[in-house]
Amino acid sequence: MTPMSAPPPSTSSATPDDEETASGLRKVIHIDMDAFFASVEQRDNPALRGRPVAVGGSSARGVVAAASYEARVFGVRSAMPSVRAARLCPELIFCPPRFEVYKAVSQQIRAIFLHFTPHVEPLSLDEAYLDVTDDLRGIGSATRIAELIRARIKADTGLTASAGVSYNKFLAKLASDQNKPDGLCVIRPGEGAAFVAALPVSRFHGVGPRGAEKMAALGIATGADLVQRDLAFLRVHFGSQADYLYRAARGIDLRRVRANRPRKSVGGERTFERDIGSGPALREMLERIITLVWERIERSGAKGRTVTLKLKDTDFRTITRARSFPAAVPDEAAFAAAARALLGGVLPLQQPVRLMGLTLSALEGEGGAPLAPAAAEPGQASLPF
């Protein structure tokens, strides 16, 4: 990569951001490309620009992977069956995915991140957290770094990214979503709780449409409603998600940005548009997930011995079933057979499910030791958890 026009490391007088460091808070940026796969297709084919585009198969079993912002006006979204998307938007243009191109762009943006900090935690091809508390270029201002990154992404790839800047991961991710597309949002120390209070709970990472419905039934519509509920109440209604929700409602997140996190598994899951209870429908959904996940496994080059099926029911209970083999699962047929056997073992279900996923773990070359729990941030260590 050619050098960027960032100023050299400086030892000059204090910037406003120095206060944040002194108080022990981190400076975190979350970057997320806009309508990623769809934007790449529009970039590479001018005829698609300004038009509603969906990346994904248009067949009866196809699912939308990405929708351009023009398509979203019609209600087209990721994970929606293509048939439904075409009904919502008859003009919709379907493009087959080109993963090699998306991967190349992903490498370009990672190189840009690494120019500013080694503390980069990619979440997917188009998304990453950066800890810029001590940035490599001595820029000092996280907001300035986020702007430089966005400009550089535009210059190098021709694509837009949105950025969120804050003092923890939870808030940075909320912020990157706030002014999408091509947006920037900064949540400064002291502003997190108020920012979260004003949000509908559906904006919280991990609270899907059904989670939001469940909260609505309990009288919780916004972060301000959530913060009124004590931990005991949240534990009764939301089980293992309670601690996360309790902290999130206060704008607290103790997780560190973790660079080079070793890959423990490769997998994927889908939340359904409608709950599914019948065996045949679940089996059909499983076939789609097998295809999707095996494709990811092949792309990543991972080889693993354990296949895990995950289901989440309408009461938010998670059911997992796993099967381990003496050697790496050799091919898609073996992976599919294991997945079908796992599903067969839990049918018939007592409750419909809202989500299904498959993962391959016990990967070759993996130590197998559990990851150390994330250390608490210095400034937040005195909090209840």
Query: Interacting stretch for ligand DCP, rule CB under 6 A, among 31-39, 113-121, 322-330, 339-347?
Result: 31-39
Q: Which is nearer to Mg ion, 35 or 362 (CB)?
A: 35
Peptide bond into 384 cis (omega under 30): no
- Contact of residue 180 among Mg ion, ligand DCP, none (CB under 5-8 Å per partner type): ligand DCP
Active site residue 287: no
Q: Does 79 bind ligand DCP (CB under 6 A)?
A: yes
What angle, 0 to 180 degrees and rounded to 10, lies between the N-to-C axes of helices 332-346 and 279-300? 150
- Of the candidate residues 17, 25, 29, 32, the single one contacting ligand DCP (CB under 6 A): 32
From the list 36, 195, 244, 294, which residue makes contact with ligand DCP (rule: CB under 6 A)?
36
Residues within window 174-213 making contact with ligand DCP, judged by CB under 6 A: 180-181
Given Mg ion, ligand DCP, none, residue 79, with its beta carbon under 5 to 8 Å by kind, binds ligand DCP
* Choice between 99 and 233, CB closer to Mg ion: 99
Cβ closest to Mg ion, residue 78 vs residue 133:
78
Nearer to ligand DCP, 37 or 246 (CB): 37
Within positions 104 to 163, which residues make up the interface with ligand DCP, using CB under 6 A? 124, 126-127
Cβ(148)–Cβ(139) below 8 Å: yes
Helices and strands counted in the chain (H then E): 14, 12
The entry of ligand DCP, Mg ion, none near residue 65 (CB within 5 to 8 angstroms by kind) is ligand DCP
Stretch that binds ligand DCP, among 13-21, 29-37, 82-90, 315-323 (CB under 6 A): 29-37
**Contact status: 135 vs Mg ion (CB under 5 A):** no
What is the rounded CA–CA span in Å between residue 56 and residue 54?
6
**Chain centroid to CA 8: how far?**
33
Taking the least distance from each CB to Mg ion, the nearer of 25 and 105 is: 105
* Cα–Cα distance, 258 to 79 (Å, whole number): 28
C-alpha distance from residue 91 to each of 47, 65, 87, 185, 244 (Å): 13, 17, 9, 33, 41
- To the nearest 10 degrees (0 to 180), the angle between helices 99-116 and 36-44 is 110
Q: Which is nearer to ligand DCP, 33 or 356 (CB)?
A: 33
Question: Which is nearest to 271 in space by CA: 63, 97, 58?
Answer: 63
Alpha helices, H only, the chain: 18-22, 36-44, 69-72, 82-88, 99-116, 142-157, 169-178, 192-197, 209-217, 223-227, 231-238, 242-248, 279-300, 332-346
Residue 264 backbone phi and psi in degrees, to 5: -100, -25
* Region binding Mg ion by CB under 5 A among candidate stretches 33-41, 65-73, 185-193, 294-302: 33-41
CB of 259 to ligand DCP, least distance (A): 20
User: What whole-number distance in Å separates Cα of residue 242 and Cα of residue 256?
Assistant: 20
Cα gap 284→6, rounded to integer Å:
52
The Cα 368–Cα 258 span in angstroms is 18
Q: Which range, of 32-40, 185-193, 279-287, 368-376, touches Mg ion by CB under 5 A?
A: 32-40
Within 72-131, the residues that bind Mg ion by CB under 5 A are: 126
Q: Out of 70, 121, 127, 377, which one is annotated catalytic?
A: 127
| Cβ neighbour number for residue 8 with a 10 Å cutoff | 7
Tell me phi and psi for residue 206, to 5 degrees: 95, -10
Please tell me the count of residues contacting ligand DCP according to CB under 6 A. 15
Which among 30-38, 84-92, 230-238, 325-333 is the span making contact with ligand DCP, rule CB under 6 A? Answer: 30-38
- Residue 269 touching ligand DCP (CB under 6 A): no
CA 354-359-362 angle, 5° bins:
150
Q: Which is nearer to Mg ion, 17 or 32 (CB)?
A: 32
* 37 lies in the binding site for ligand DCP (CB under 6 A): yes
**Where do we find the tokens 């499983």?**
286
Q: Which does 66 bind (CB under 5 to 8 A by kind): Mg ion, ligand DCP, none?
A: ligand DCP
**Residue 54 interacts with which of Mg ion, ligand DCP, none, CB < 5 to 8 Å by class:** none
In the chain, the amino acid numbered 208 is G
Chain residues in the site for ligand DCP (CB under 6 A) = 32-37, 65-66, 78-79, 124, 126-127, 180-181
Catalytic residues: 127
Chain residues in the site for Mg ion (CB under 5 A) = 32-33, 36, 126
